[in-house]
Amino acid sequence: MPSATIKMFLVHGDPKRLRTAELSNWTGKAVAGPRSEFDGVLARDEANKSGIYFLTGTDTETGKPAIYVGEAENIRDRIKTHLGKDFWNQVVYFISKDDNLTKAHIRYLEGKLIDRAQQAGRAVVTNGQSSGGRLPESDREDMDIFLEKVNQLLPVLGIELLVPASSRAEGDHEKRILYCDIKTIRAVGHLSPNGLVVLKDSQAVPVERASTQKYPWPHNMRERLKEEGSLVVQPDCLLFARDVEFSSPSAAAAVIHGGHANGLTSWKDNQGKTLKEIEAI
C-alpha cells in the first residue's frame, strides 16, 4: 500500500465524535461519528451525496463485532432507514468530492467491500446479500483505486473489521518467523500491528491446565475458536484451521499452552532466541 498524507478534522475537537478524513491527491472524503451524534453526522452536506457507508457495533446474539456495508444515492435518506437496527453504534460514509460516483460505481464498491469483510472474518456481516455491479474495464480500474483509499482510511477511523487477520508481514520485525513449542506441540506465527498472528496448521495442546479453573480466559478463547471453526479437535492436538490474530504474544501462547503463558519467553525464532531477547536487540 503506498504512503499517504491524511488530513483529519475533529469537528468538536474530540477524536471519538464527528470527524472527517481525506487523503492527499484523492477526490474521496470520509465522514464518521457515533450513533449518539446521528443528527450531526447526517446534517452535513456530504450526506446528501451518493456513496458507501458502514455501520459497526456488536451482534446482539453472539456478542461478536458486527458490520453492515451499504450503498446509497442519497446517504442521508438511506442511513435513516437503519434506525430500526440496534446493533450499530458507529457510522462511517465515503463520498466523492467531484460527484462522480454513479449507482453502478457504488454497487460495485459495496459488493467488493462486503466480500472483503466476509473474507476478513473479524465480524458478523449483517448484509443479507452482496449486490455488486458490473463496470467497464476503465471504471473498474478507477473504483479499485477508490477501494484502496477506503481501505487505507478505515482503520484510521476506527474500523479494522475489513483488515484480514493474516495481513502480510511488512517490517523486518514482523517478517521474523516465531515458534511456540510445548512438548510435541508446535505453533508458528509472526508479529503483526495488532499483536501476533498464529498461522494455519499450527497446533495447541489438547488438554488445558488446571489453572484455567481460576483464570478461565484461555479456556473461553479456545472454546470460541472451536465454535467458529478456527481451532479443530484432532486425536493428539488442537489444530488451527486458519490464520488467527491475537492481541498479544501472551494471548496466543495461552491458547496454545492451554493456560497462562508468558509470550515474551514462549515465542522463539529459529535460533532459539526468545521474543524478549529479540526485542532487546
* pLDDT tens digits along 101-120: 999 999 999 999 999 998 88
- The per-residue pLDDT for range 207-266, each reduced to its tens digit, is 999 999 999 999 999 999 999 899 999 999 999 999 999 989 999 999 999 999 999 999
* 245 DSSP β-pair partners: 197
Alpha carbon distance 121, 103 (integer Å): 27
**The domain boundary residue, chosen from 110, 133, 157:** 157
* 53 DSSP β-pair partners: 70, 93
Tally the domains of the chain. Answer: 2
Q: Do residues 74 and 50 touch, judged by C-beta distance below 8 A?
A: yes
pLDDT over 70 (residue 131): no
Tell me, yes or no, whether 236 and 103 share the same domain: no
- The per-residue pLDDT for range 197-220, each reduced to its tens digit, is 999 999 999 999 999 999 999 999
Tell me, yes or no, whether 76 and 148 share the same domain: yes
pLDDT over 60 (residue 169): no
Tell me, yes or no, whether 63 and 119 share the same domain: yes
Tell me, yes or no, whether 46 and 11 share the same domain: yes
Q: Who wins on pLDDT, 132 or 96? A: 96
The CA angle 176-265-262, to the nearest 5 degrees, is 115
Predicted TM-score of the model (pTM): 0.75
What 3-state DSSP class applies to 187?
A: strand
Tell me, yes or no, whether 28 and 106 share the same domain: yes
pLDDT over 80 (residue 156): yes
Q: Is residue 166 part of a domain?
A: no
Tell me, yes or no, whether 275 and 194 share the same domain: yes
Phi-psi region of 54 (alpha: psi -120 to 50; beta: other; left: phi over 0): beta
